[in-house]
Amino acid sequence: MRQFFDPKGIVVIGVSDARVNLGKNIVDNLVRWEFGGRVVAVGREAGEVYGVAVLDSMDDEAAFAGCDLAVILTPANLVPGHMRRCGALGINHVIVETAGFSELDGEGGNGAAQRAILEAARDHEMRFMGPNCVGLMQVDTGNILPFAHVPRDLLRGDTAIIAQSGGVGLALMRGLAHQGVGSNWMASVGNKLDVDEVDLAAHLVAKKDVGRVVMYLESIPRGRALCDLARSTEVPFVVHKANRSTAVAHVAQSHTAALANDDRVVSAALEQAGVLRATDSRETLLAAHATRLPPLRGRRIALLSRSGGHAVISADRCEQLGLDLPPFSQPLLGHLASLQRQSVIRRGNPLDLGDIFDFRVAARVLARVLEDDGFDGVVYVQLHNRVTEVDQGEEFLKAAAALGKAADKPLALAVVSDEAQVARFRDLTGWPVFDTPEDAVAVMGLLVRQQEARTRARAPRLTVDLPGAPPETAPTSVSGLANAAIWSLGRSLALVSRAGVPVADTVVHGSTQPTRFPVVAKHSADTDWVVHKAAVGLVRTGLEGPGQVSEAAREIEETAQRLGLPTGEVLVQSHLEGPEVFLGARRDPSFGPVVLFGCGGSLVELLDDVVCWPYPFGEAEIAHLVGRTKLDSLAGDLLDPKQLARWLAGLGALLEADPTIEEIDVNPVVLTADGPQAIDARVHRKTTHRLATESTRHHTQ
């Protein structure tokens, strides 16, 4: 990645001196920003732009000596040829800013040209960014490659921005700068046919002095790699993942597919890795601010405000985010009383400072609260009068910022004033200053979410040794379907039992008689499509005695035949009662194995009381997630969170051990007085045809 950020020389292909020429803009940026390396321009006609000669061909090899990066902005059909010529010249790093490739699929997309640039890159062992991007920027070296004019008054800092959309990336730089957060790097990945956000972020956190990485992404093909990277570094990551619409989701057949939709998985995976996920542009800016503050080691917040009303607003927001407002200790109250011996306002948390008009006293109060070990973070709300308190207000905020920089806990400052004044305070203090109390508290919420996730993720991860032989690659079933997509109930239960999930005693009708009644009879056969057995009459409940079991088995077999299903077999289980739990696992194409759990039964999708989480994980992570469901109130002591974590780890291990398994449903596990027992399960597998297709696709990419 070095040549992208620190090239010795840059070739810009697609330059002319026409009034409107995007390639010319790139040369202009490099010249104005005083890039220290060589700049060579190439166009259809020889000429000169901004003092740089424009060559009309790439035939003279000597003219490109010392250049190790090329930027191409020409019609799409010309890009492959330019890439091949760059490769022949030894320039094996290219940024393709041209649009008109896969982003237009279905509307005239140029798939042939896209395949051609992939072939050119492969033939010349070339790394390239794009296509359909605006390149990148490294401000401190003048490596400014967008085709848009980039002014030189950008606020510089230690933020790195990686955006799938170049327009969003440039807007993020401006937005962060307006909030007092400077940037030094911006990279636009576009269609990311080769270089993606993981490649760029890995280089930046390893080789550069990056304070934070802020991303705007519409897709995350290498989600697991991104999360592993974020987890491995102390550099904080903020990700605004867009393209969340369910309109593009395929129709799900199983409970697992319906409940583990792509956006849930993204949120869970980013949270597990300690990444701050932003839901919109405003939250992206807030999250970037949050990363400038020290870690928040707990939920105990001290809230100070010069306005009682704003104290109430802030306290409400704290409660919404699960932040605690513990009372001030007696020694702290005594010290505060010594600072202001007469007060008409009751002291507590939140602390109303509305009767303190000497800002030096307010600064001493803030300093004392920051020192107190009873709080993990402090929010201070300043109601600023820009007419009568200009000098005092500025001095106080400078003092507050100095206290925040020296503290080992976060201080979130909010100033209630006009936008221009708040911006001035940011510039004056060099510290995050928020324009509403809600934003200051929201930052504390983001920090505690990040810190708690990182703490849980540092705990040892569960390891599972699967007993017995691994599942067959192409299993043969009793119904004769050698390559069924959906395993039978019997075989599915046998598989999940290998994961450590306790399974109810199950017998095949006709092989032995049940010893306890009432019982339940169910159809079991491998199929090529999902069958919800109870809905189509393939389950009979409340059977009392062998005669009713035999009659139910006959009816189930007739129903299966009428539906065109394989004959299979009829399984008999004891009728169990108790709270019901849903377990699931699926293979996400970006993040790998993901597990799910929550309240189970026939209404699992309607209740939607399910959480998903990437595998592998630790016990503490699952115990925390149980609190996001209704399982505590439903199951009580019948469900052991540690036991639940081991079941889920077993399901995740099954997916890792067998790449042909796509999804596993276990619904429900009944929590009986005698212990938990799974009574239904369904295993979805890739067919041999699909495996062959995916293998072919892999080898042709």
Task: Decide which of 258, 292, 326 is a domain's last residue.
Answer: 292
C-alpha 312/C-alpha 318 separation (Å) is 10
Whether residues 300 and 430 share a domain: the answer is yes
As a whole number of Å, the CA-based R_g of the chain is 31
C-alpha 303/C-alpha 437 separation (Å) is 10
C-alpha 43/C-alpha 554 separation (Å) is 80
Segment 447-465 mean pLDDT: 89
Whether residues 360 and 478 share a domain: the answer is no
144 in a domain, yes or no? no
The Cβ-side half-sphere exposure at 22, using a 13 Å CA radius, reads 16
Whether residues 214 and 275 share a domain: the answer is yes
Instruction: Identify the pLDDT of residue 478.
Output: 35
Is it the case that residue 249 has pLDDT exceeding 60?
no
DSSP helix/strand/coil, 593: strand
Q: Which residues 6+ apart lie within 8 Å of 626 measured at CB? A: 632, 639, 641, 644
Instruction: Identify the pLDDT of residue 147.
Output: 96
Q: What is the DSSP letter of 56?
A: S
Instruction: Identify the pLDDT of residue 483.
Output: 59
pLDDT tier for residue 504 given thresholds of 50, 70 and 90: very high
Instruction: Identify the pLDDT of residue 343.
Output: 60
Is it the case that residue 479 has pLDDT exceeding 60?
no
145 in a domain, yes or no? no
Instruction: Identify the pLDDT of residue 117.
Output: 94
Segment 320-344 mean pLDDT: 84
Whether residues 400 and 515 share a domain: the answer is no
Is it the case that residue 643 has pLDDT exceeding 90?
yes
Whether residues 521 and 498 share a domain: the answer is no
Residue of 150, 256, 179 lying closest to 429 (CA atoms): 179
Is it the case that residue 693 has pLDDT exceeding 70?
no
443 in a domain, yes or no? yes
Q: Are 37 and 65 in contact (CB under 8 A)?
A: no
Is it the case that residue 108 has pLDDT exceeding 70?
no
Q: What are phi and psi of 279, to 5 degrees?
A: -95, -15
Residue 485 CA, chain-centre distance (Å), reads 30
148 in a domain, yes or no? no
pLDDT tier for residue 567 given thresholds of 50, 70 and 90: confident
Neighbours of 405 (CB within 10 A): 12
Is it the case that residue 344 has pLDDT exceeding 80?
no
C-alpha 349/C-alpha 334 separation (Å) is 14
Write the pLDDT tens digit of every residue in 408-420.
999 999 999 888 8
419 in a domain, yes or no? yes
CA 222 to each of CA 345, 592, 655, 694: distance values in angstroms, whole numbers, following the listed order: 56, 9, 18, 17
Peptide bond into 350 cis (omega under 30): yes
Stretch (H or E) spanning 368? helix 359-371
Instruction: Identify the pLDDT of residue 388.
Output: 66
C-alpha 59/C-alpha 70 separation (Å) is 15
- In this structure, which amino acid lies at residue 333? L
Tell me the CATH number at 552. 3.30.1490.20
DSSP helix/strand/coil, 330: helix
C-alpha 415/C-alpha 428 separation (Å) is 13
Is it the case that residue 605 has pLDDT exceeding 80?
no
Write the pLDDT tens digit of every residue in 536-561.
999 999 999 999 999 999 999 999 99
146 in a domain, yes or no? no
Whether residues 84 and 206 share a domain: the answer is no
- Percent of the chain topping pLDDT 70: 90
Instruction: Identify the pLDDT of residue 602.
Output: 74
More confident residue, 693 or 89: 89
Segment 25-32 mean pLDDT: 97
Whether residues 129 and 181 share a domain: the answer is no
Q: What are phi and psi of 575, to 5 degrees?
A: -75, 120
Question: Of 37-41, 508-512, 696-700, which one has max mean pLDDT?
Answer: 37-41
Task: At 170, list the tokens.
Answer: 């440039």
Average pLDDT of the chain is 89
Whether residues 491 and 541 share a domain: the answer is no
Residue with tokens 């503050």, as numbered in its chain: 293
Task: Decide which of 574, 609, 631 is a domain's last residue.
Answer: 574
* Domain span at 537: 507-574
Instruction: Identify the pLDDT of residue 199.
Output: 98
Segment 378-388 mean pLDDT: 84
Segment 229-237 mean pLDDT: 95
DSSP helix/strand/coil, 282: helix
More confident residue, 554 or 357: 554
Task: Decide which of 245, 272, 292 is a domain's last residue.
Answer: 292
Q: Are 170 and 282 in contact (CB under 8 A)?
A: no
pLDDT tier for residue 691 given thresholds of 50, 70 and 90: very low
Tell me the CATH number at 172. 3.40.50.261
Whether residues 181 and 74 share a domain: the answer is no
Whether residues 590 and 683 share a domain: the answer is yes
Burial 602-622 (b: 16+ CB within 10 A, else e): eebeeeebbbbbbbbbbbbbb
Q: What are phi and psi of 223, to 5 degrees?
A: -60, -40
362 in a domain, yes or no? yes
Peptide bond into 131 cis (omega under 30): yes
Whether residues 276 and 238 share a domain: the answer is yes
Q: Which residues 6+ apart lie within 8 Å of 157 measured at CB? A: 181, 182, 183, 184, 211
Whether residues 89 and 168 share a domain: the answer is no
Alpha helix locations (H) across 522-640?
Answer: 546-562, 604-607, 619-626, 631-635
DSSP track, 209-269: --SEEEEEES--TTHHHHHHHHHH-SS-EEEEE----GGGPPPP-SHHHHHS-HHHHHHHH
- In this structure, which amino acid lies at residue 587? R
Tell me the CATH number at 79. 3.40.50.720
Q: What's the number of domains the chain is made of?
A: 5
147 in a domain, yes or no? no
- In this structure, which amino acid lies at residue 606? L
Write the pLDDT tens digit of every residue in 650-682.
999 999 999 999 999 999 999 999 999 999 999
Q: Strand pairing partners for 277?
A: 239
**What is the dihedral sign for C-alpha 152, 154, 159, 163?**
negative
Instruction: Identify the pLDDT of residue 387.
Output: 66
Write the pLDDT tens digit of every residue in 70-90.
999 999 999 999 999 999 999
Q: Are 468 and 448 in contact (CB under 8 A)?
A: no
Instruction: Identify the pLDDT of residue 356.
Output: 83
